[in-house]
Copies of this chain bind each other. A is one copy, B any other.
Amino acid sequence: MGRTLTYPKKSLNTVKRYAHRATYDVKAIHSIINDSRVLHVSFSPGPEDLFPTTIPMIGQMGSFEYPSADLGEPLDCYIHGYVSARLANLARSSEQGLPVCISASKVDGLVLSLTPFNHSYNYRSAVLHGYAQLVTDDEEKLWALKLITDSVVPTRWDNSRTPPDKGEIAATSILKVKIVAGSGKIRDGGASDEKKDYGNEEVVTRVWTGVVPVYEVLGDPIPNPDNKVEAVPEYIKSYVDEYGKQSQQYALGAVGAKLPEEEQH
């Protein structure tokens, strides 16, 4: 497309501090959401409730109308999880849908500076605001279920017993969130300190500074006691390997470091 879409800055999503870490780039924000295994979905149960409520859910950005849409285009957020009767009623109660805040974050490194004041994380976080509605069209529901299932393990949908039967589809709730604002924050790099500390010989010779990479890996698949497929299928094996490698690569890349194997080439 040759252009980069950004979410408009509104008071709702304007990141005020560390503006150099803020991103309004649609693709970056959507990628953070899609790479997160859990989304935290917040909503206000009602005007008489003081507290917002947050529910951990699973979700993906996508477009049912334009399934081939790129991550850098305007997309809806499809989320799945426990939709209580209360939540379902709230989502139904207005034509626009229920106002929700979706957030996701991932820590990529522990940034250890000379002083606790300058300690930080390398991280990626995204926050979306939008209106949630229950998906009622069966075709759209199926499409969203495949999108979400394949985000757990790519191609898992085709490699499991599909399609779901009518009862399963009816018993599954999917929320579609029309996004009205989004923002993200990305911190990378090493530790930074002030002159009063890095100019202090006693401090710099005593305090180790640097970054401890943090990343998520997948372990060897553990078959169910009643599993009848002898070997772990290739699509699972290669996902396990690739996921760990990419995850480590990102954490190291955030500090400008590389995987040991890469350095040998």
Centre residue among A18, A105, A125, A129 by max chain B CB count within 10 A: A105
A221 within 8 A of B: yes
Chain B residues whose C-beta falls within 8 Å of the C-beta of A164 in the assembled complex: 115-117
A residues 104-124 near B (Cβ < 8 Å) are 105, 107, 110, 112-117, 119, 121, 123
Chain B residues whose C-beta falls within 8 Å of the C-beta of A5 in the assembled complex: none
Give the distance in Å from the alpha carbon of A157 to the alpha carbon of B114 in the complex.
10
A216: min CB distance to chain B, Å: 5
Is B218 a contact of A110 with CB atoms below 8 Å? yes
Chain B residues whose C-beta falls within 8 Å of the C-beta of A198 in the assembled complex: 226
Is A214 a contact of B212 with CB atoms below 8 Å? no
Indicate which residue in B44, B110, B203 contacts A44 across the interface (CB closer than 8 Å): B44
Chain B residues whose C-beta falls within 8 Å of the C-beta of A68 in the assembled complex: none
Centre residue among A12, A161, A162, A225 by max chain B CB count within 10 A: A161
A69 within 8 A of B: no
Is B101 a contact of A52 with CB atoms below 8 Å? yes
A66 within 8 A of B: no
User: What number of copies of this chain does the assembly contain?
Assistant: 2
A175 within 8 A of B: no
Give the distance in Å from the alpha carbon of A156 to the alpha carbon of B111 in the complex.
12
Is A56 a contact of B105 with CB atoms below 8 Å? yes
A37 within 8 A of B: yes
Chain B residues whose C-beta falls within 8 Å of the C-beta of A110 in the assembled complex: 152-153, 218
Interface string of A188-228 (1 = CB under 8 A from B): 00110000011010011111111111111111111111111
Chain B residues whose C-beta falls within 8 Å of the C-beta of A107 in the assembled complex: 37-38
| Chain B residue nearest in CB terms to A256 | B222
Give the distance in Å from the alpha carbon of A132 to the alpha carbon of B262 in the complex.
47
Beyond A18-B82, A44-B44, A110-B152, 5 extra complex contacts between A and B, CB < 8 Å: A56-B123, A161-B200, A211-B221, A219-B252, A222-B252
Question: Please, could you name 24 A-B residue pairs with CB atoms under 8 Å apart, sorted by A?
Answer: A17-B84, A18-B82, A38-B105, A42-B54, A42-B101, A44-B44, A47-B47, A53-B101, A54-B101, A54-B127, A112-B152, A114-B161, A117-B164, A117-B168, A117-B171, A159-B206, A190-B224, A190-B225, A205-B228, A211-B222, A212-B222, A214-B217, A219-B248, A222-B252
